[in-house]
Structure 1
């Protein structure tokens, strides 16, 4: 990690989103890689205390995460504000003004919500449409009066979705697909796919767009004109495009049905028979990983996550997307927490976070 640049990016994000967590307690995760920066951002933003919950995972051990965060905190001079925990404890959760919905904090279930104080809030580090029931018990939050609000990733200050396109570029280059003059099929709907199509076209790729989801439609994207081939099913024209395509980018983050595989509309074996040289870059979307592996097609990453989760996050391109997103999410939390501590009701607290920050409610849809 380039500590000098990382500190500069954190400072820029804090200033951009006007994040000030003074007198507030933050409960978040202790993770590895760039995800280790979240408690650092909170501490550098003046949080009275940051409790970071960690665990062993496929991404790294608890001890690795703890050592990483402690070293970062020492470098940035905020070690006294951070406590790293391995167990979820009532006395610590009950202190928190802001509880993030990040990996090791989840699930935020009935028990955990019961420990939270009435003025606590849960800022989502993504847009509300990305919500998964297994992550947060929203009904229990309503019963307890805990305010939950998403983060507007389309904000001009944030531009998370633009980084999804950059992520596709990085994966394709790792597959030795040059992009310029390459034929690439983007599979997915919604803003993730739209941003990916837009980015690849700007770099000179011949792009086809396939959305097999029920909501399949051509989202608004400034660079995506009507000349871009667009299909909502694997038609003969789409098949012809696949025959000469260099790669497929799978980037479906809303629909949970299987896109490719033995239960999908097309198997990877079928793809291999149509075009044995086609490469697969998987960002998100339900596919049959075992069938993909058996097909002999070249693909990335090695481990494919199930629908609703990203196999590779935007943090893979560098620290800026994560720093900006998590700073924005903490800003949403700050505004919600201060509003609730000032006696405002849930609706008024949400209004404050949406009008004064990058908050986005569940009522907003793409």
Structure 2
């Protein structure tokens, strides 16, 4: 019975996956490719390319696909719930019951958790480079992907890098590259009819709901969070301006509460999109647990409908012989895209002092050299930052 295993695996990730969407990809790869071997590297990077090319929370979409592959639709829902609910519940508890974090140790702990992301993503990038960039051309493409993603920035850089990799791979890689010949199809792919239905539902809600919500406050709230989830490219941080305009500008959530929740959302594990649960719990439209659940479902729903809706056509394309080169190019540039995201924003916003650089070096030694479990790093780095802050370094 895979359901309990799926829930247990994703619940553990939901409780320990600090560092944002790029770091989550590193955790996912370590858990499901390396340790559990539920999916191959080729499957992992192929599905990751889909998620990065579409709007929505890429790490949550990827987890949803892994759950779908392992246990069908029930497995997909369990994967989403296990990964999402721990941080969402924690944020809602703080929002409703007014538990306020205080003390000099808070900021160093948050800084330490950011440094965890630095070493986890570095491990993911190195592992994927060794596995997917085994030839000169694919290594060059990883560098191209890095340069384009870092140079252009945002979702345009990510999508541009992937498109360049696909085009060059299609034109220049004529032979099968190790890794791309493995089965990359999910075990439970939606039919073309179901995929079409999912895409129609996703688009219909996006287009029709604003008119229906004009006089109903609950629908207005759902529409605001649904629209934010449907239109955002590039990860959780990009959704913040949309959420701010939907909640703070109309006076539904105060500016101070918005910023406090944003800070806490970065301090808890799991997807940053769970920030919507904080806002829903405080939204004057439907405050409390009901608003939190409505906002949480609304912001995740469009991305999950979209990524599963395109699967029937995606797998028809990648089953063709000419897709080997295209996929090899995409996989190589995805490595570069992840490396660019590691540099900016992860390193640039996390390693900001001599002490943070020293702690990041310790974390790299623990994870990459000594091969300690990631939980050791998650505990050790915040403690070290608290210690350095206490002694004034």
**Bin of the TM-score, shorter chain as denominator length:** under 0.3
Say which structure, 1 or 2, has more relative contact order (CA 8 Å, 6+ apart): 2
What TM-score, normalized by structure 2, do the two folds share? 0.25
TM-score normalised according to structure 1 size? 0.26
